[in-house]
A and B are shown apart, each in its own frame.
Chain A
Amino acid sequence: VTELLDCRGQRCPLPVIALARLMTQVPVGAVVRLLADDPAAAVDVPAWCRMRDQEYIGSPADDTYEVRRRT
């Protein structure tokens, strides 16, 4: 994991906006671990990856999502 992004307490779409912003700043191949406790993140983070052609690695723990920058 290259970067940790803590968005706990934020409601969607804020965690997804923060994730998208950070992704423009990390190198291709970097892995971002997002902490988000809004229940919508569980569907919205993988959906964002699909729509923006990024790699959704998975959810290794509750409220935790890992994404690798692909493009």
Chain B
Amino acid sequence: VSEGASDNVIGMARSGYFDVAGAAPPHPAAREALAAALADGWADPTRLYTQARRARQLLDAARGATAEILRVRPDEVTFCANGTAACHLATLGLLEGRRRVGATFVHSAVEHSAVLHATRWHVDRGGSAVSVPVDRLGRVDVAAFASAVAAPGVAAAALISASHEVGTVQPVEAVAGACADAGVPLFVDAAQSLGRQPVPPGWSVLTGSAHKWGGPPGVGLLVIRTGTRWAPPFPSDERESGRVPGAPALPAIVAAAASLRAVAAEAAAADARLRALVDRIRASVAATVPDVEVVGDPTDRLAHLVTFSVLYVDGEALVHELDRLGFAVSSGSSCTSSTLEPSHVLVAMGVLSHGNVRVSLPLDVDEAEVDRFLAALPDVVSRLRAQSGAVGL
């Protein structure tokens, strides 16, 4: 296959791709760094020979670059297998580190399922958990969160930086203040906002996922502020300061750091453009599709993400039909989940869960593709409604 042909295939796969909240296409900086690190950084960085020293230099540089962007110390930055593993380590490590204080974990009702799975693990082993509700826009109730963390026996708390399903930005700073007043460490899952928006201060543990910001899949980020009572919840070794065992995915980590640096540099310019495109989607969907609910906060939100639910339409059918027309979107409807349960985020918000579509735009999204999507959607919806007899309701 010639160079030109493979570029063409990559280009074709990109058009109409509106699911960067699931996985962002690799940033060119990531691809370049990955190739270079595979050539140069394959050795085990803990060994004592030349090749290992080179690998260690690359790992240190990736850690340093990541720390600089996050404005933390390099020794606070740890790399792990993926965003899910990072959420598990963050949650269970804080609970382990503070087990003498108590066994209660406080979290918002709209955390990523990885945090909820770790919570379930904790509860199944005798711990307890408090889920703090959100409003119709998906924003957590700060007063309820503050009173939950002030209760006796709370070991740790978690708040997602911005909702991965509806884009609503969470009041991290206010919740961090309440946690500080209560002496409870706060874990912020910043998977959807890292590289896009600065993370508000006040957190003790922060996680991220490289393939959400344009890095390769297979790299999670776990940042633990100095002084935080965190202890490894699973077996560990001497790697990653004793926090994450086993050989790190060095080439992917190098690529993840390179892409984080690249997207962070582009973020401010991209933010305004993506924000305007999402405003256009919100307005157009509400105006051209009857009986639709555009959900999440219309202004205090992620720049690139919008979710809406279409009455009388099956979410899975909508995703398939849009795919047939060349659009990749995700859905929180129950028919698209393996458990056949609707998205816990939509349920917590009390918004329509069927016919749900999440659109999340790449940094370099083609405006014409967005318009093509908006032009196609009303017909897709009326066709699906006609098929299920949902006409004249």
Contacts and interface: CB of A to CB of B under 8 A. Distances in A.
B352 A17 contact: no
B393 to A, nearest CB: 4
5 contacts: A12-B342, A12-B354, A17-B312, A44-B354, A48-B352
A20 B309 CA distance: 16
Interface range on chain B: under 10, 10 to 19, 20 to 34, or 35 or more?
20 to 34
A43 interface: yes
Contacts of B309: 47
A40 B389 contact: no
Contacts of A11: 334-335, 340
Contacts of B346: 43
B91 interface: no
B291 A13 contact: no
B293 A51 contact: yes
B390 A17 contact: yes
B311 A24 contact: no
Contact of B350 (A13, A14, A40, A46): A46
A17 B385 CA distance: 10
Max chain B Cβ within 10 angstroms of own Cβ: one of A11, A20, A44, A51: A44
B354 A20 contact: no
Interface of A: 11-14, 16-17, 20-21, 24, 38-40, 42-44, 46-48, 51-52
A47 to B, nearest CB: 4
What are the 5 tightest A-B residue pairs by CB atom distance, in nearest-first order? A47-B352, A20-B393, A13-B354, A40-B342, A12-B354
Given A39-B334, A40-B342, A16 B354 contact: yes
B333 interface: yes
Given A12-B314, A47-B353, A51-B352, 13 more contacts: A11-B340, A12-B353, A13-B388, A17-B389, A17-B390, A21-B389, A38-B334, A39-B342, A43-B342, A44-B352, A47-B351, A48-B311, A51-B293
B355 interface: yes
A47 B312 contact: no
B160 to A, nearest CB: 20
A39 B334 CA distance: 9
Interface string B67-91: 0000000000000000000000000
B312 A16 contact: yes
Max chain A Cβ within 10 angstroms of own Cβ: one of B293, B352, B389: B352
B266 interface: no
B353 A43 contact: yes
B347 interface: yes
Given A24-B392, A44-B352, A52 B291 contact: yes
A40 B342 CA distance: 6
